[in-house]
Amino acid sequence: MRMDAADVSASKTAPILNFVKTCKLLEEAMRARRLISSILHGRSRNIVPWTSDWMCKSCRTTTVARIYSTGSSALSKKPYYITTPIFYVNAAPHVGHLYTMVLTDILKRWHVLKGEKAILCTGTDEHGMKIQQAAAKANTPPQVFCDQTAETFKRLAKQAGLANDYFVRTTDQDHKDAVQYFWFMLKEREYIYESKHEGWYCVSDETFYPESAIEKRLDPSTGRTFMASQETGKEVEWTSERNYHFRLSAFKDRLLEFYQANPDFVVPATRMKDVVKQVSEGLQDLSVSRPVERLSWGIRVPDDETQTIYVWLDALINYVTKAGYPWAPGTESELGWPADVQVVGKDIVRFHCIYWPAFLMALDIPPPKQILTHAHWTLGREKMSKSTGNVVNPFFAIERFGVDVMRFYLAYNGGIADDADYDNSYIVQNYKTCLGGGLGNLVSRIMRPKLWNVRDAVKSAHAGDLWGGSDLSTGQHVRRLKELRDKVDSHMTNLNPVLALQHIINVVFLTNKYLTLAEPWKKLELGEEYKNVEGTIYYCAESIRITGILLQPYMPVKAAELLDMMGVEESKRTFEYADLGKDETYGTPLIPVGSGKWDSLFPPLPITT
């Protein structure tokens, strides 16, 4: 089906129409994407290049099936891909956002530790009614408002030590192009239709709720009654309008089949059960646009300038935007899709675990492999909320305690299944017990005494000349060290970095106890031969070395300092070396180990709480 040059229109839409009419749009997707971008950037509002008669049905079906299949050759090149949710910029971030970032970063760094190529994507959600209203309230143009708040989230990611590869903004042009292209493909496959919509709409949640999901509530401060979402408690209002709908109801069976084939799709299992229950009870078609007179701040429907694309359809597509969507044949997985893990808070499970896979299934794009849904941080046992001001400023917390201490606290005490309550006194207690009195104390006890030499103990161990340490407690400790790496890896594989960290720190506690019971200093003072205490010193040093390697995803700066104190070479700080007896070269400090509490690995906090 070749077109003569004379048949090609001279209009500005001709290049892209030519691609479509010759059925080559998808086969040369990257070229099409560039053309789409140039047309979208330069077209007048009256020109509509996105039309439903672009491609014949048979070509569309066969070509789309081919472009979205993932062959083994593509999968073999796929990097580990992990995402945070994109954070809504209607207000400044709080410590709950920091927790999501930290969890995601830990999982990314863990895979890097294991020698894998890994990609982390984070960013900001910048469209929708709430932002339109917040910008108006601030008397600031929406784009300027978004620019300012997006920079705040970027700064938080940097201060949190986030090793992100991308920071996506939904106001980026490549994202806008991807959204409009995604919309066009949904409409081409007849999953989008226009209809009148009536229902209860929540501006705060940016979503419609069915009658069964709302209830009457009383505002105790004013005595006013209002209708609210049962799920979030936010006020809803009755709305009637014409807009576009996505045929979500058509995906009930496909979603249930997908969940059955992937029982660990949602973590933890309790939320997987909730998702299955919601879908089993039936799905209603989803309103996916808003009239532009009500919502102007967003991405326009490609072939209807009177409608703005629903913020959640817009936002979710960010995950494939930075994975290179739309893809050229054979490149679908080169930038990581399907995502290995997407980390989200429990309040946005429905969007990510029902809507998102349905959108993807509609275009034969594979859904993410797993979605980790974590619990919330509370303050005074109440959920942190930007709208109520019941929040903890993450910048103040990092400045006060240090980034690695905050990362440790959030990971050690944070909730996956159940909420956790935030309190500064808990941070101080964690620091004293786990870091200063636990790990830092152990490093000082092993590396500072002049009664023994860690390097000599390591040499003796690898020369097969290790004496002492043959008692029952040593045998138990050796077994713990042999099991540590695999147990931590198992928790990470199950997407529970909280349990993994608790297991690491438990070994630190047990090592301190082991050292106290062995009393090598006392044995030497009583005249016992040096070779009889080398076993104890070596196994304690191995505890520090192995835990130091495993702690790198959690506390990158402090873990590096610890490994420097132990004299561990840079090339021997990987997952492979986090095993008993794996490194025979360490023991001579690369940096001073200090002599007092103020120059230790974890000096006393310069605060009182």
The SS3 assignment for 430 reads helix
Q: H or E segment at 485?
A: helix 472-493
Residue 20 lies in a domain: yes
Residue 97 lies in a domain: yes
97 and 48, same structural domain?
no
Rg (CA), the chain: 28
pLDDT of residue 469: 53
* Position 72 pLDDT exceeds 50: no
- 597 is written with which tokens? 């509490």
| Per-residue pLDDT reduced to its tens digit, 249-288 | 999 999 999 999 999 999 999 999 999 999 999 999 999 9
The SS3 assignment for 124 reads strand
Mean pLDDT taken over the chain: 86
Highest mean pLDDT among 290-294, 370-374, 471-475: 370-374
Residue 554 lies in a domain: yes
155 and 87, same structural domain?
yes
429 and 565, same structural domain?
yes
* Position 294 pLDDT exceeds 70: yes
**CATH number, position 365:** 3.40.50.620
Query: Cα–Cα distance between 359 and 349 in angstroms, integer?
Result: 15
Query: Cα–Cα distance between 350 and 284 in angstroms, integer?
Result: 13
pLDDT of residue 241: 83
* Position 15 pLDDT exceeds 70: no
590 and 446, same structural domain?
yes
* Position 2 pLDDT exceeds 70: no
Decide if 562 contacts 443 (C-beta within 8 A). yes
| Per-residue pLDDT reduced to its tens digit, 337-347 | 999 999 999 99
96 and 63, same structural domain?
no
433 and 370, same structural domain?
no
Among candidate residues 445, 430, 408, 542, the one with its CA nearest the CA of residue 485: 542
| Per-residue pLDDT reduced to its tens digit, 194-206 | 987 777 877 776 6
Q: Which domain holds residue 540?
A: 423-599
Domain-ending residue, one of 17, 44, 67: 67
| Per-residue pLDDT reduced to its tens digit, 441-497 | 999 999 999 999 999 999 999 998 775 555 778 889 999 999 999 999 999 999 999
Decide if 313 contacts 363 (C-beta within 8 A). no
Q: Half-sphere exposure of residue 223, counting CA atoms within 13 Å on the CB side?
A: 0
Residue 371 lies in a domain: yes
CA dihedral 343, 228, 379, 126 (to 10 degrees): 50
431 and 548, same structural domain?
yes
The SS3 assignment for 201 reads strand
592 and 506, same structural domain?
yes
Domain-ending residue, one of 364, 398, 432: 398
* Position 68 pLDDT exceeds 50: no
Residue 416 lies in a domain: no
pLDDT of residue 7: 41
Query: Cα–Cα distance between 487 and 502 in angstroms, integer?
Result: 11
Q: Greatest CA separation found in the chain?
A: 102
- 198 is written with which tokens? 């009536």
Residue 122 lies in a domain: yes
180 and 92, same structural domain?
yes
| Per-residue pLDDT reduced to its tens digit, 413-446 | 999 999 999 999 999 999 999 999 999 999 999 9
Q: How many domains does the chain have?
A: 3
Classify each residue of 503-514 as buried b or exposed e, where b means 16 or more C-beta atoms within 10 Å of its C-beta: bbbebbebbbeb
pLDDT of residue 387: 67
591 and 446, same structural domain?
yes
Residue 248 lies in a domain: no
590 and 491, same structural domain?
yes
The answer to pTM > 0.75 is yes
Query: Cα–Cα distance between 367 and 275 in angstroms, integer?
Result: 15
Percent of the chain clearing pLDDT 70 (strictly above): 85
117 and 90, same structural domain?
yes
| Per-residue pLDDT reduced to its tens digit, 556-586 | 999 999 999 999 999 999 999 999 999 999 9
- 360 is written with which tokens? 């993807």
DSSP 87: E
Decide if 250 contacts 191 (C-beta within 8 A). yes
Among candidate residues 280, 254, 501, 271, the one with its CA nearest the CA of residue 372: 271
Among candidate residues 586, 574, 591, 546, the one with its CA nearest the CA of residue 442: 546
Query: Cα–Cα distance between 435 and 162 in angstroms, integer?
Result: 21
The SS3 assignment for 379 reads strand
pLDDT of residue 583: 97
Decide if 3 contacts 15 (C-beta within 8 A). no
Residue 231 lies in a domain: no
